[in-house]
A and B are shown apart, each in its own frame.
Chain A
Amino acid sequence: MDGCSFVVPRGKISGLIGPNGSGKTTTFNLLTGLLEPDGGQVIYNGENLAGLKPYQIFRKGVTRTFQVTRIFREMTVLENMLSVTGLGVPERVARQRAEELIAFVNLGHLRSEYGGRLSYGQQKLLEFVRALMTDPDLILLDEPAAGVNRTLLQHLLDHMHRLQEQGKTIVIVEHDMNVIMNHCERIFVMDYGVKIAEGPPAEIQRDERVVEAYFGRRR
């Protein structure tokens, strides 16, 4: 990534799109400390996060999911959830939140099943709610729709809007343009590690550079 700068509006749902290899996941990795930037800043709540460790960034209220799910495979669904809560939180509180969230994505009957035994879509859902265990303020979702069936996806999107109404900031990386265009208020488009466009959905859909990045130059 080079010279790529953008500001995510607080309390809104934003989308980050771009062709494969354009740097979307790299952006998430830079934001969450999995990669350390060679230069530049990541400002969150007026504080520079660049150079902090992933767990430190998480504790400031930034959470994420992964493109290819990274659930804990040989741990049960409940254990996956509980592992995220800090030891300072009382066990009863953590359990109650875990059970609520598990029930919310209809995984209640699988609470004692190993994460690795869930279907891919179920793993996506588990990862989504696992990221919500600590009530984060900034939620980064890397392709939440991939592999999730329509009914559950609708459910997930509804929940996303509910989180937004509570004041949460959400950024989605997604290839499903319906999700992006219908649910995001602001969209950032990347190509080759640079931001090539930014704006509300309607504007992005008409943007020449975006069309070009996705489909190539018109002859």
Chain B
Amino acid sequence: MTRGEHLRNLVLLGACAVALTILPHALTVYRRSFVLFTMMYVVLALSWNIISGFTGYTSFGHVAFYGIGAYACAILVADYRWHWIPTLGVGAVLAALIAVVIGYPVLRLKGPYFAIAMLGAAEGTRVVATVWDSLTHGGLGISLPSAETSLETYYAMVTLMLVTIVVAYGVGHSRFGIRLNAIREDEVAAEALGINATLYKLAAFTLSAVFPAVAGGIQAYKVLYIDPPAVFFVQITIAMALMSMLGGKGTVIGPIVGAVILYTAQELTWVNFPTAHLIAYGLFIVLVARFMPRGLVGLAIDRGWVRKGMIH
């Protein structure tokens, strides 16, 4: 990208920020929630994309970090009477530490083995949250005391989304991001060309864990009740993956577009057909993988509407 293009994108993002700041005052409480959760999925898809899209390590367990963030917030607010904002930081740090601990061994696996190992890691985290009664209240879940105005969480999510977009954009268009791409394309060659793959993968993995944790924390304070099945729900991971795939893995705009489209579609259908979005998800996975493996952005690139590559 040229400097002019970066500037244009920055202006676009600024315009989005202004619009999202004014917007809630014009919305009903329900619609405000809808926008909040759409933004949350943008955060989740963009984060998943850092390890799975840029780096090529498809994670089926990213919900673990989301759940950890949600629990960090819920426990500290409900049991330790913290203000909810600093708990987001605790969740982020905790998720980063756990990402390093899980990532170091698991990132040695490749392809389906990594995906399955992450699925196991997320399930393991859910079990720990269910069994560790004294800390997490186990299967009963945690109710949060709240003085929520719904604006607080809304603005927190706007901020988180903007930060996530800026970071994902920065990573994607930097030589750090290009080197992650190189690992995705051919890890052996990348190593032979001087890239310390272990270190880069761990950095990408940790980065991709931090934002979902914060999102989980905001979500916990938004809905005021969490339990293990809700915040370690495997479908949240699938949503991250599917949104990124639909929009275009390994790009920055792809996961954003995918999240907005899929979450909106889900919201429109579930009111009338409570399970329809699940069927639609299944169908979508098949269709996207078969006909559009590189997503909408890939399609736009093939048509010549968008340039190839991240650095120009």
Contacts and interface: CB of A to CB of B under 8 A. Distances in A.
Contacts of B196: 53, 55
Contacts of B309: 75-76, 78-79, 112, 114
Nearest to A136: B194
A205 B61 CA distance: 60
A137 B175 CA distance: 24
B19 interface: no
Interface string B174-190: 01101101101110111
B191 A53 contact: yes
B175 A112 contact: no
Interface in A46-66: 53-55, 58-59, 63-64, 66
Given A79-B181, A87-B176, A64 B308 contact: no
A84 interface: yes
A71 B196 CA distance: 17
A162 interface: no
B303 interface: no
Nearest to A56: B196
Given A75-B309, A78-B312, A82-B175, A54 B181 contact: no
Contacts of B188: 34, 54, 70
B194 A112 contact: no
A82 B178 CA distance: 8
A53 B190 CA distance: 12
Contact of A84 (B186, B194, B197, B312): B194
A55 B185 contact: no
A73 B311 CA distance: 15
Contacts of A33: 191-192
Interface in B177-222: 178-179, 181-182, 184-186, 188-197
B307 interface: yes
B310 interface: yes
Contacts of A134: 194
A22 to B, nearest CB: 22
A108 interface: no
Nearest to B307: A112
A146 interface: no
A75 B195 CA distance: 16
A85 interface: yes
Interface residues of B, number: 26
B194 A59 contact: yes
Contact of B185 (A63, A66, A72, A78): A72
B145 to A, nearest CB: 46
A25 B26 CA distance: 67
B185 A74 contact: yes
Contacts of A76: 308-309, 311
Given A83-B175, A83-B179, A83-B181, A112 B308 contact: yes
Interface in B233-252: 250
A55 B197 contact: yes
Given A70-B186, A72-B185, A112-B307, A86 B194 contact: yes
A57 to B, nearest CB: 8
Contacts of A70: 186, 188-189, 192
Contacts of A83: 175, 178-179, 181-182, 190, 193, 195
A165 interface: no
A73 B182 CA distance: 9
Q: Which 10 A-B pairs have the closest CB atoms?
A: A76-B309, A72-B185, A70-B189, A58-B194, A83-B182, A54-B191, A54-B192, A83-B178, A84-B193, A55-B196
Interface of A: 32-34, 53-55, 58-59, 63-64, 66, 70-76, 78-80, 82-87, 91, 94, 112-114, 130-131, 134
9 contacts: A34-B191, A54-B188, A58-B194, A64-B192, A66-B189, A72-B182, A76-B309, A83-B181, A91-B175
Given A74-B181, A94-B175, 19 more contacts: A32-B192, A55-B194, A58-B192, A59-B194, A70-B192, A72-B181, A72-B186, A73-B185, A74-B185, A75-B178, A75-B309, A79-B309, A83-B178, A83-B179, A83-B182, A86-B194, A112-B308, A112-B309, A114-B308
